[in-house]
Copies of this chain bind each other. A is one copy, B any other.
Amino acid sequence: MGKQEIRYAAKVSLDKPAAEQACLHNRWHPDVPFTGTIKNGEVVKIECVDWTGGQIGNNDSADDVRDVDLTKVHYLTGPFEIETAEPGDVLLVEIQDVQPFQDQPWGFTGVFAKENGGGFLDEIYPKPAKAIWDFEGIFCSSRHIPGVRFAGLIHPGILGCAPSPEVLATWNKREAELIDACSHMSRDVALPPLTKSVHAGSASEELKAKIGKEGARTIPGRPEHGGNCDIKNLSRGSKVYLPVHVNGAKFSVGDLHFSQGDGEISFCGAIEMAGVITIKFTVMKGGMGQLGMKSPIYIPGPCEPQFGPGRYIYFEGFSVDEHGKQHYMDATVAYRQTSLRVIEYLRRYGYDDYQIYLLLSCAPVQGHVAGIVDIPNACTTMGLPMDIFDFDIAPHVPAKKMDLGSCAYASS
C-alpha cells in the first residue's frame, strides 16, 4: 500500500537535439504518431524542452537571440493518446504542478531582431536583446534587470489536442487567404506549412514529408483547439477544458514559461525554460456540445500571486498610434500604446527601454481591455505590480534615478 511516485509519460534529454527525440514534434497534424497512452483519470508527469530547443545560452550576449533559427522552435511533447477520448468530447486538463528542472534553474526572455522574429514593439525596438533569469524556489531575478524579483506564475505556453483533417484544412485555407490578402505588407502575417525542419516524432520519412506539407505551424494559437495561446494564468492548479477533434485526443504540451505578462509582448517574451508538468486528464463525453464549446475555456488555480488591487499602477492606452494617427477601435494599437506608456514611466528610475520591454513581457502584468465601444478609441490598460520591485515605484515626484545596469545585447 502507499502512494507511488507519479508516472512519467515522457522524458526528454537536454543533451540531445530536440529533432532527434521521438517524444517531441513541431507541427499540428492528425497523423503525428502517438508517443504514449494515458488513462482517463490518470495523473502523469511530462517533461518538456524549452521553446528554442536549447538554442539560447545562460550568458551576457544576445548574439544567440539575434541568430536563432526560428524553424527549430516549439518542440512539443506528445501527442498522447488519452483513452476513451473521441471527437466532440472535452478533455479536462488539470495542471497540478509545473517545475523547472532542478539542475537547470534558469530561463531567458528575449527580444528578437526585427528582421528575425520581431515582436510587438519592433518598429520602435528593432534590436535583439536578452535577459537571463535565475530561479530560487518560486522566485526569479535577473542580473540583466536589477531591482525586480517575483514569484513565477509558471505555466505551459502551448497545450492542445490535434486538429482533425477538416480542422487542419480550415486553418490552412484561412491563413493562406490572409497571406494572399496582405501580400502588400512588408512583414509576415502568417506562417504557411513548411517542409524545412519538420519534426513529427516517430513518423516515417514519408509521413514526416506529408506532415511537413500539410501540418500547421505552432506559432499561433487557434480558436478550435487553443495551442499556443500564451495565457499566463494556466498555472499551478488551473483547469483547462480542451475540445477533442480526433480519437485519443492526441494531446501535446510544451513551451513552458516560468512567468509571463499579458500579451507576452516581446514575442520570446515569457521566461522560457525546460521542465516538467504534472497533469491530470479527464474525458468529458460529449462535452463540446453540452458546453456549447468552440474554443477552450479554463479556470485559474487558487495560488496565483496576489498583490491586492491597490498594489498595481495601471497605465492607459488608446487607439491613436505613436505617429498621432487615429485608428478605429483598434485594441491592438491601443495595447501597443499602453505598453509604451509603461516604458516611458519606468525610464525615470534608470532602466533603459529594452530592459523594460523585456520586463513587461515576462513579469505578471495585467493587460485589460477597458473600453471597446467608444468610437473611435479603444482603450486598454496594463497593470504593473509594484511589489515585484525592491524600490518604491509609486507615482511620487520626484523620483531618484539609479544605475540599473543593462540587459544583454548582441555584438555589433
Tell me if A228 is interfacial: C-beta within 8 Å of chain B: yes
Residue A332 CB within 8 A of the other chain: yes
Distance, CA A233 to CA B314, complexed state (A): 10
CB of A402 within 8 A of chain B?
no
**Given A137-B96, A138-B236, A290-B397; A371-B231 close (CB under 8 Å):** yes
On chain B, the residues within 8 Å of A204 by CB distance are none
Interface string of A107-139 (1 = CB under 8 A from B): 000000000000110000000000010111111
A303 touches B300 (CB 8 A): no
A343 (CB) vs chain B CBs: closest residue: B292
Partner of A136, one of B6, B177, B312: B6
Kindly name the residue among A95, A302, A330 whose own CB sees the greatest number of chain B CB atoms within 10 A.
A302
Residue among B188, B223, B308 making CB contact with A306, cutoff 8 Å: B308
Q: Are A178 and B368 in contact (CB under 8 A)?
A: no
Residue of B nearest to A347 (CB): B292
The contact sample of 12 A-B pairs, CB cut-off 8 A, is A120-B372, A138-B303, A189-B376, A219-B374, A221-B316, A241-B395, A263-B372, A290-B398, A291-B395, A297-B395, A307-B310, A330-B330
**A133-162 contact mask (Cβ, 8 Å, vs B): 1 or 0:** 011111100000000000100000000000
A213 located at the interface, meaning its Cβ lies under 8 Å from any Cβ of chain B in the complex = no
Size of A's binding interface in residues, CB under 8 A? 137
> Which of chain B's residues have a CB closer than 8 A to the CB of A96?
136-139
Q: How far is the CA of A189 from the CA of B373 in the complex (A)?
A: 11
Q: Given contacts A151-B237, A332-B330, are A312 and B297 in contact (CB under 8 A)?
A: no
Residues of B within 8 A of A3 (CB): 58, 105-106, 132, 134-135
Is A14 part of the contact surface with B, judged by Cβ < 8 Å?
no
- Select the stretch in A17-25, A27-35, A378-386 that faces chain B: A378-386
* Complex interface residues of chain A between 352 and 391 (CB less than 8 A to chain B): 366-381, 383, 387
Number of copies: 4
Asked, given contacts A96-B139, A331-B332, whether A371 binds B230 with beta carbons under 8 Å apart, the answer is yes
**Contact between chains at B331 and A313 (CB < 8 Å):** no
Interface residue A212 (Cβ < 8 Å from any Cβ of B) = no
Tell me, yes or no, whether A337 is within 8 Å of chain B by CB: yes
Minimum distance in angstroms from A216 CB to a CB of chain B: 11
Q: Are B299 and A106 in contact (CB under 8 A)?
A: no
The answer to whether A332 and B372 touch across the interface, beta carbons within 8 angstroms, is yes
Please name the residue on chain B nearest to A371 by beta carbon: B230
Question: Within 8 Å CB of A134, what residues of B?
Answer: 3
Q: Does A39 contact B (CB under 8 A)?
A: no
Contact A312 B299 (CB under 8 A): yes
Measured CA separation A191–B326 after assembly (Å)? 13
Chain B nearest CB, measured from A356 CB (Å): 11
A335 touches B331 (CB 8 A): yes
* Selected interface stretch from A77-85, A193-201, A317-325: A317-325
Taking the nearest CB of chain B, how far is it from the CB of A103, in angstroms?
5
How far apart are the CA atoms of A310 and B151 in the complex, in Å? 11
- Nearest residue (CB) in B for A341 is B295
**B345-A58 in contact (CB<8A):** no
Q: Which 10 A-B pairs have the closest CB atoms?
A: A96-B137, A97-B137, A308-B308, A230-B371, A2-B58, A331-B331, A367-B369, A220-B377, A3-B106, A292-B344
Residues of B within 8 A of A254 (CB): none
Q: Is the CB of B228 within 8 A of A374?
A: yes
Please judge, given known A-B contacts A119-B373, A368-B367, whether A301 and B310 are in contact too, CB under 8 Å.
Answer: yes
A287 touches B397 (CB 8 A): yes
User: Is A63 located at the chain interface by the 8 A CB criterion?
Assistant: no
